[in-house]
Copies of this chain bind each other. A is one copy, B any other.
Amino acid sequence: MNKTVEFFKTQIGKEITQSPSPVGIWLKPILLQVEEGSLKAEFTVRPEMTNPAGMLHGGMIALISDEMIGATIATLDLPDFFPSVNLYTDFLNGAKLGENIRAEAEIIRRGKTIINTECRIYNSDNKLIAKSTSNSIKSKGK
């Protein structure tokens, strides 16, 4: 188990309040599970995350996906930074204001230069809300 995974494991069940990612703090995730290359976390749909229909905004789903993907790459404990090249999201179902949603991300392919990662997000009825995929590229230094 690498040092990042080891640290993440101490955070399971707690709301993340300390993170190098300001977006990560803003989203107020609760970590559910972590392994090298996979991550599960819970989020609550807050008012500022909703669309005019009172549902979780599609862009917020993309934001949560991208943050989960970045954090999952972090579990690999690599010396380099891996910014996203692209992000693709399908919106499949909704989540309401106040609802708890669960995001599950995993590395699909770990290349030397490109890492491909997928994130699936479920609502409180365990319906798949969204499926995202992203490619991240090795960038010198963190």
A-side residues, CB < 8 A to B, are 20-23, 25-26, 47-53, 57-60, 62-67, 70, 81, 83-93, 108-109, 113-114, 116, 118, 128, 131, 133, 135, 137, 142
Contact = CB atoms under 8 A, between A and B. Distances in A.
24 contacts: A20-B52, A21-B51, A22-B49, A22-B50, A23-B49, A23-B50, A23-B51, A23-B60, A51-B70, A52-B142, A59-B62, A59-B63, A59-B66, A60-B63, A62-B66, A85-B85, A86-B91, A87-B91, A90-B116, A90-B135, A114-B137, A118-B131, A133-B133, A135-B135
Contact of A85 (B59, B128, B135, B142): B135
B108 A23 contact: no
